[in-house]
Chains A and B, each alone.
Chain A
Amino acid sequence: MLLVIEQLLNGLQLGVTLFLMSAGLTLIFGIMRVINLAHGSFYMIGAYVAATVAARSGSFLLGLLVALPAAALVGMLVEIVVLRRLYKKDHVDQVLATFGLIMFFNELTRVVWGRQPLFMDVPSWLSGSVELIPGIPYPSYRIAVIGVGLLVAVFLYLMFTRTRIGMQIRAGASNRSMAGALGINIKLLYTLVFGLGTMLAGLAGVMAGPILAVEAGMGESILILTFVVIVIGGIGSVRGAFIGALLVGMIDTLGRAFLPAFFRLFLATAHADGVAASVASMSIYILMAIILVWRPKGLLPAHT
């Protein structure tokens, strides 16, 4: 039973990381209607910058503080130079151009930082573990990740419902020309939204840095999961992304944790492990296929 609770926490932590990625991506898609395959690149940039700064200065926080604006700035630059020209094009053109961006950024990090993965450590003040439930020590860093993710969710919620810029973003999303006529600077708004999205991706990258290998191409493994999340949640909906992220995080983690035991109930052990591992790796895709067949526009579609 304690193990189940611990695995639920693990699922929550994975879900929260996915939420940081998918919130930005779903905003970008919902508002600009552009498919950005290169979103994972900003995750990678965040991790690389933070790892470099943290290694030089010895301070994780400084790394975080430099990485966030760096990811936002690179994002806005990419928006101005490339993405802006794609808004009116077909989805296929957007796929092609942003695929090109992925190749470019992956290779660029190899040229700048070399081929070997970078090292990034958990800050010393988060390196211990906490016994949330007696008998189960849980790494403090992972608890911090969960906390940051939930804070961002609250922040986004407040921003969209309480602030002027949030309302402008929503206005831009529902009717672009009307919002423009009302005096909103759409171009600037788009650049800012893109910057916000890439900054969130950068944040996810920084948070993942101490847990994962910081290496070129790290963005793609999470990118696909992120797409799965926003499609399940309903494209363009931040709330949908939140629900989708938690769902994917839970299903993936619980599948990996408990499917082997489940299959051992009626299969030979050696065979059960293999089958369970296969089913676990497919589980989120199966989930997505089921949800899309059941509700073709996702759980909480933003535009009806």
Chain B
Amino acid sequence: MFQFDRQKICLSIGALLLVLLPLLASLAGEPYLVSLFSRILIYALAAASLDLILGYGGLVSLGHAAFFGIGAYVVGILSFHDFEESALIAWPFLIPGSDSALVAWPAAIFIAALLAVFVGALSLRTSGMHFIMITLAFAQMLYFFFVALEGYGGDDGLSLFSRNTLPALDLGDDTQFYYVCLTLLFAFLYLSARLVKSPFGMVIRGCRENEKRMQSLGFPTFRYKLLCFVIAGAAAGLAGALNANQVEYVSPGLMHWTRSGIILIMVILGGSGTLYGPVLGAAAFLLLEEVLSIYTEHWMLYFGPALILVVLFARHGLYGVLVGKEKRHG
């Protein structure tokens, strides 16, 4: 029982700190920390979504950045057409650009989900190392597609004129934007926690342990895994949309395989299959990068071995260290 309590305490403290962060930052006289933590929350959302398929489904995707990137591009392209006052699609019916978050963000989620249906339907036929590589292949195809997409800046990317608009809120204000990200992250974590405990989540976890058995029990495992993959892709699309707003810039670099690798590292660093671990992983990764690069431009010389040490000695990532041996709830 103690283990369980420790986890609850850690989560509450973590959540409280995140909620109070803008206040703490202004007390410390470091308001810029708010935008750094917005970045952390956005990557945390992307990492948590990857954890859904990686930690619970046991599917290692090295192409998750594709969904992140496409979400960002949806926001970027809609905002581009809004600023240029041109039509995104002129025929058979007119679709104008938009800078409203209520239009752009659901669109980002939808397009990312659509992409995930396509990629998932083809990749989920494979498993293990082959799955890693085929997801990587799709992400690289998309990367090269956007690199050459001249109309939208190609490799140079697209600069947004300003952040999206929301009724009653000003996303251009860093603190308000931070709370929007935080709310969306909490909502996703809550839904995912419900999801993995539901019968659906049981089947997904069953597939990780023994897919054949789940099949012989009569579950159409392919459809279950695909749905899980699509949910993860859609959430990554939302994270991408948020990222486009935070940075006010999108580029194909968002989909490069190293970006997928970084999101993967955040998940494993924090602890895969823990849902909250990836949030911690994203925070640790981005803060370490920030701090080390202040001290030395050769920060990777220390960061690389640190990753290896985490793998060798922190069995279930930082989250495992924090909450003790109990790593997977449920």
Query: When A and B assemble into the complex, do they touch directly, with CB atoms less than 8 Å apart?
Result: yes
Interface of A toward B, CB cutoff 8 Å: 29, 35, 82, 85-86, 89, 91-93, 95-97, 99-108, 110-111, 220, 224, 227-228, 231, 235, 274, 277-278, 281-282, 285-286, 288-289, 292-293, 296-298
Q: Main SS of chain A's interface residues?
A: helix
Complex contacts, B134 vs chain A, CB 8 Å? 231, 288-289, 292
Other A-B contacts than A104-B305, A282-B145, 6 sampled, CB-CB below 8 A, are A95-B264, A104-B304, A110-B298, A289-B122, A293-B122, A293-B125
B141 at the interface (CB under 8 A from A): yes
Return chain B residues, CB-CB under 8 Å to A220.
Answer: 258
Contact check, A281 vs B310: say whether CB atoms are below 8 A apart: no
Contacts of A228 in B (CB 8 A): 133, 137
Question: Once bound together, how far apart are the Cα atoms of A106 and B310, in whole Å?
Answer: 20
- B residues with CB within 8 A of A: 54, 60, 62, 122-123, 125-130, 132-134, 136-138, 140-141, 144-145, 147-148, 150, 257-258, 261, 264-265, 267-269, 272, 298-301, 303-308, 310-312
Min CB distance A245 to B, Å, is 15
Q: How far is the CA of A228 from the CA of B137 in the complex (A)?
A: 8
Question: A244 to chain B: closest CB distance in Å?
Answer: 12
Residues of A within 8 A of B269 (CB): 96
A272 to chain B: closest CB distance in Å?
A: 13
Most buried by A among B126, B137, B138, B312: B137
Say whether, besides A107-B300, A278-B144, A298-B130, A96 and B265 are in contact (CB < 8 Å): yes
Q: Do B130 and A101 touch (CB < 8 A)?
A: no
Nearest chain A CB to B140 CB, angstrom units: 5
CA gap between A105 and B300 in the complex, in Å? 9
Residue of B nearest to A38 (CB): B304
**Set A105, A235, A274, A285: member contacting B150, Cβ < 8 A:** A274
B137 nearest CB neighbor, chain A only? A285
Q: Which residues of A contact B257 (CB under 8 A)?
A: 224
- B141→A107 contact, CB < 8 A: no
A103 to B292, CA, bound (A): 14
A96→B150 CA distance, assembly (Å): 35
Closest to A298 in B: B130
User: A99 CA to B62 CA in the complex, in Å?
Assistant: 12
User: Which B residues touch A274, using CB under 8 A?
Assistant: 148, 150
Q: How far is the CB of B274 from chain A (nearest CB, A)?
A: 13
CB distance from A276 to the nearest CB of B (A): 10
Asked whether B304 lies within 8 Å of A227 as measured between CB atoms, the reply is no
Return B32 CB to nearest CB of chain A, in Å: 26
8 closest Cβ contacts across the A-B interface? A100-B307, A104-B304, A103-B304, A278-B148, A107-B300, A103-B300, A107-B301, A100-B304
Least Cβ distance of A173 to chain B in Å? Answer: 15
CB pair A102 B304 closer than 8 Å: yes
* Cβ–Cβ contact B308 & A231, under 8 A: no
A108 to B301, CA, bound (A): 6
**Considering residues A99, A235, A286, which has the most beta carbons from chain B within 10 angstroms of its beta carbon?**
A99
Nearest B-chain residue to A224, judged by Cβ: B257
Contacts of B133 in A (CB 8 A): 227-228, 231, 288, 292
Once the chains are docked, how many angstroms separate the CA of A106 from the CA of B304?
10
Contact status B307-A91, CB under 8 Å: no
Contact B308 A97 (CB under 8 A): yes
Chain B residues closer than 8 Å to A89, beta-carbon distance:
311
Instruction: Determine whether the beta carbon of A289 is less than 8 Å from that of B306.
Output: no
Inter-chain contact B304/A93, CB cutoff 8 Å? no
Q: How close is A221's CB to chain B, nearest CB, in angstroms?
A: 11
Chain A residues closer than 8 Å to B141, beta-carbon distance: 282, 285-286, 289
Could you name 27 residue pairs across A and B whose Cβ atoms are closer than 8 Å? A35-B132, A82-B312, A92-B268, A95-B60, A95-B132, A95-B261, A96-B268, A97-B312, A99-B307, A100-B304, A100-B306, A100-B307, A100-B308, A105-B304, A107-B299, A108-B301, A110-B298, A220-B258, A228-B137, A235-B130, A285-B144, A289-B141, A292-B123, A292-B125, A296-B127, A296-B130, A297-B130
Q: How far is the CA of A201 from the CA of B57 in the complex (A)?
A: 34
Is A99 a contact of B261 with CB atoms below 8 Å?
yes
**Are A289 and B307 in contact (CB-based, < 8 A)?**
no
Q: Which single member of A29, A105, A107, A108 contacts B129 (CB below 8 Å)?
A: A29
* Contact of A104 with B137 in the complex, beta carbons under 8 Å: no
Q: Are A103 and B137 in contact (CB under 8 A)?
A: no
**Which residue from B125, B267, B304 sits with its C-beta under 8 Å from A296?**
B125
B60 touches A91 (CB 8 A): yes
For B144, the closest partner residue in chain A by CB is A281
Chain A residues near B138 (CB, 8 Å)?
285, 289
- For the complex, give the distance between the alpha carbons of A203 and B43 in Å: 39
Task: List A contacts of B312 (CB < 8 A).
Answer: 82, 85, 97
The reply to whether A227 and B122 form a contact with Cβ atoms under 8 Å apart is no
Contact yes or no, A111 B298, CB < 8 A: yes
User: In the complex the two chains form, what is the Cα distance from A277 to B264 in whole Å?
Assistant: 30
B129 touching A97 by the CB < 8 A rule?
A: no
**Chain A positions within 8 Å of B308 at CB level:** 82, 97, 100-101, 104
Residues of B near A289 (CB, < 8 A) are 122, 134, 137-138, 141
Query: How far, in whole Å, are A20 and B127 apart by their CA atoms in the complex?
Result: 26
Docked complex Cα distance between A287 and B128 (Å): 19
A298 to B131, CA, bound (A): 12
Contact of B140 among A97, A224, A298 (CB under 8 A): A224
- With both chains docked as a complex, state the minimum distance between the C-beta of B66 and any C-beta of chain A, in angstroms: 12
In the complex, A111 Cα to B305 Cα: how many Å? 16
Residues of A near B60 (CB, < 8 A) are 91-92, 95
CB distance from B94 to the nearest CB of A (A): 25
Given contacts A100-B308, A103-B304, A296-B126, contact A92 B272 (CB under 8 A): yes
